[in-house]
Structure 1
């Protein structure tokens, strides 16, 4: 993303000392698109103006202070908004808000809300499309990035030659009840190699929910770039602890109390919904997503720059997930109680989903482009779309400007 300098101020210097140099850079994206989706409701398609087909609209500020001696102070604040209505795109006004210190010899450390290592690896090393890390309106891979961002994070970043690595740690801060949905404690690391032609990397991230249950994410992948050709492939897995033991099956009243709103089980349901948001956001997996045992995804695709202005790309995502199974972990009356709320799964049934997307992107200039996108989704097993259908098509036509 090309960033336009808002202001650069060089502090006054005397004959005896030179003051640090600071810069403040304003950057952003405004993206709006018209989208058609089949089977959005029972037997009904939808036509919408959506706030971002290729990218979510945003406004951000980067601050850099050169303190001399190879040290720099860094700040990033980034706000996301809906370009169609002007409203805030998420509960958090600042989707990123961190301060950092960079050394030319020892790397960089950042403190605050920021992207996690899984998101960093996906988007930097084997992104689904060369000219845009992912499609905002259709992003299955984000369903394995464990919410993409974490609060209360300390991240260390370092590079030696073509090898780059990150380590992240974030605190849960002992919250409980509704506040415990996020943040959660995390720890993980990623490593990648990039020589300009080949990019290869892997990452592991573990999150500990307030209930003590863990979610573990692993990603490996590579990409190859040769002139106008870009090819990518990756594999990812999320593993979830069984949280049915958070329910008390000793009696009907005890079960109802343990399943109550903002209880441990309810918080676990909501937390796992957040960790699978890349898929839930497209309404692909319903409540059955919350009792996942494992989810695996294979992603592969290619982008070709047909002309200096025109890029064509296609990507395939194949997903398979298993469940602990409400029917297998709960006595019949209690399984029926959860089924009435939309959660009824069997450990013997495997869910599958296939995703396909094709994109044509035309650049009017370095900052402004128009795009056409087609996507197709199929699901099977315990899960369906919210309207009960098992397949869906989408078409998006949009315009994006970056500054």
Structure 2
């Protein structure tokens, strides 16, 4: 019995991991007016620490879990404590605000439960040239590309070069309250994604729908669909993508496009393209562009980004990122997202920083 217990223990593992990312940023035309120079946390990667574990149950079946906390390096505060936009924002206390889930895996199939990354987030990380950095990326334009879903069940199946995923939540953001008896669609979420990857080519399709977080408006929805692809040409990896967005006027939390443009413009198409050039194994350049076409208004915006990243080792790199956002007719897209620039103004931002992974 003692030998059997030792063998079982040897097939289990728990790993502590994390990223610490901090930089000095300067932007002009801030939302309050004028320029700002500041220290910012989580520029290329959100700062985090976490634990992940696996236990081999035999016959190919494994128990798995991940607990992951986001934090701000500059002041030590939690990274996922505020949810929502403007007057609809809420504050929550989340020790493991990035991820907190447990589940089972079996021969390429995985079923997990808890607070998990949305499928749209995972598509953005894989197909955004900036890897869905905390800002200066597709995340600056659509907050949902870094979505995390409470109370969720998620399935992932690997079938050769094809990966199929499905996700469902009974209340995707408990910052707005728990499940409501008799009103099951309040805060409901569902999503699906298909990803194909073989050789130098990869492509994905995804869809998600959220119901509003209040009982009075719970039939209002916010719907997104994405299509994206990447291709490797020697030292260059190219990216292109598209996101469809439609949201009901009554959707809560309020769609940030509508807030920033001061209108009920809850429909928009987002396009992006870019490339990563690996000049040497230690030095990489990334260039990307994003364009948001907002319907029923001419308040459109585009964002251009250039990033240089130098790896001092496998775990440590230093980087410099520059971005420029251009706004038309009162739009307010800044390099860090909607509402971070004075309405109708353009913005230039620059950040130099260091990142360590462990």
TM-score (norm 2): 0.84
1:353 Cα deviation from its structure 2 partner: 0.5
> Which residue pairs with 2:144 in the alignment?
145
Answer yes or no: is the 8 Å Cα contact 1:53–1:397 preserved in 2. no
Cα distance in 1 for residues equivalent to 2:231 and 2:187? 35
> Which residue pairs with 2:162 in the alignment?
163
> Which residue pairs with 1:356 in the alignment?
304
Deviations 1:6-39 (A, max 9, x none): xxxxx95339x95352100000000110000011
> Which residue pairs with 2:63 in the alignment?
73
1:293 Cα deviation from its structure 2 partner: 2.8
Matches within 5 A, 1:371-386: 371-384=319-332, 386=341
Cα distance in 1 for residues equivalent to 2:51 and 2:263? 36
1:93 Cα deviation from its structure 2 partner: 2.1
Matches within 5 A, 1:77-226: 77-91=67-81, 92-95=94-97, 96-104=99-107, 107-124=109-126, 126-129=127-130, 133-141=131-139, 143=142, 145=144, 148-172=147-171, 178-179=176-177, 184-209=187-212, 210=214, 211=217, 212-226=219-233
Cα distance in 1 for residues equivalent to 2:232 and 2:75? 38
1:360 Cα deviation from its structure 2 partner: 0.3
Residue 234 of structure 1: SS of its match in structure 2?
strand
1:144 Cα deviation from its structure 2 partner: 6.0
Could you say if the C-alpha distance between residues 12 and 145 of structure 1 is closer, same or farther in structure 2, counting changes exceeding 3 Å? farther
Answer yes or no: is the 8 Å Cα contact 1:232–1:302 preserved in 2. yes
Deviations 1:172-194 (A, max 9, x none): 3998x952799821112100100
> Which residue pairs with 2:357 in the alignment?
402
Answer yes or no: is the 8 Å Cα contact 2:152–2:172 preserved in 1. no
Deviations 1:52-90 (A, max 9, x none): 221111001001101111000001000011101111122
The structure where helix makes up a greater share of residues is 1
Cα distance in 2 for residues equivalent to 1:12 and 1:291? 67
Cα distance in 2 for residues equivalent to 1:208 and 1:159? 29
Cα distance in 1 for residues equivalent to 2:254 and 2:50? 29
> Which residue pairs with 2:314 in the alignment?
366
> Which residue pairs with 2:89 in the alignment?
none
Gaps of 5+ in 1: 1-10, 244-267, 280-284, 323-346
| Superposition CA RMSD, Å | 2.7
Cα distance in 1 for residues equivalent to 2:202 and 2:71? 32
Deviations 1:207-266 (A, max 9, x none): 1114211111100010001331110000001111232xxxxxxxxxxxxxxxxxxxxxxx
Cα distance in 1 for residues equivalent to 2:117 and 2:248? 24
Matches within 5 A, 1:32-43: 32-41=22-31
Q: Flag the structure with larger Rg.
A: 1
> Which residue pairs with 1:336 in the alignment?
none
Cα distance in 2 for residues equivalent to 1:359 and 1:173? 33
Gaps of 5+ in 2: 82-93, 181-185, 333-338
Cα distance in 1 for residues equivalent to 2:187 and 2:58? 37
Cα distance in 2 for residues equivalent to 1:232 and 1:62? 30
1:292 Cα deviation from its structure 2 partner: 3.1
> Which residue pairs with 2:8 in the alignment?
19
TM-score (norm 1): 0.75
